[in-house]
Amino acid sequence: MMARFPELKGRRILITGASSGIGAGMAKVLAREGCRLVLHYNRNANGIENTLQQVTQLGAQAQVLRCDFSRLENLPDFFEQAGSCFDGLDGLVNNAGIVTKSTSLKDPLGDKFAATLAVNLQAPYLLSAAFAKACIEAKQGGVIVNNTSIHGQATCEWFSAYAASKAGLDAITKVQAVEWGQYGIRVNGLAPGVVPVERTLAILSQPQIEAQWCERMPLGRYGKTEEMGEATAYLLSDAAAWMTGSILTIDGGLIARGNYPQR
Residue 261 in any domain: the answer is: no
Domain count of the fold of the chain: 1
User: What pLDDT score was predicted for residue 16?
Assistant: 98
User: What pLDDT score was predicted for residue 192?
Assistant: 98
Residue 260 in any domain: the answer is: no
User: What pLDDT score was predicted for residue 99?
Assistant: 94
Q: Which 3 state secondary structure label does DSSP give 79?
A: helix
User: What pLDDT score was predicted for residue 103?
Assistant: 86
Domain of 92?
8-252
What are 9-51's pLDDT values in tens digits? 999 999 999 999 999 999 999 999 999 999 999 999 999 999 9
What are 74-107's pLDDT values in tens digits? 999 999 999 999 999 999 999 999 999 888 899 9
Which residue from 138, 136, 229 is spatially nearest to 176, judged by alpha carbons? 136
What are 197-214's pLDDT values in tens digits? 999 999 999 999 999 999
User: What is d(CA 145, CA 60) in angstroms, rounded to the nearest whole number?
Assistant: 20
Residue 104 in any domain: the answer is: yes
Distances (CA, A) of 72 to 14, 75, 117, 244: 17, 6, 11, 27
Banded pLDDT at 263 (limits 50, 70, 90) = low
Q: What is the CATH number of the domain that holds 239?
A: 3.40.50.720
The mean pLDDT of the chain is 96
Single-letter amino acid, residue 181 = G
Residue 18 in any domain: the answer is: yes
Residue 257 in any domain: the answer is: no
Residue 1 in any domain: the answer is: no
Residue 263 in any domain: the answer is: no
What are 244-259's pLDDT values in tens digits? 999 999 999 999 988 7
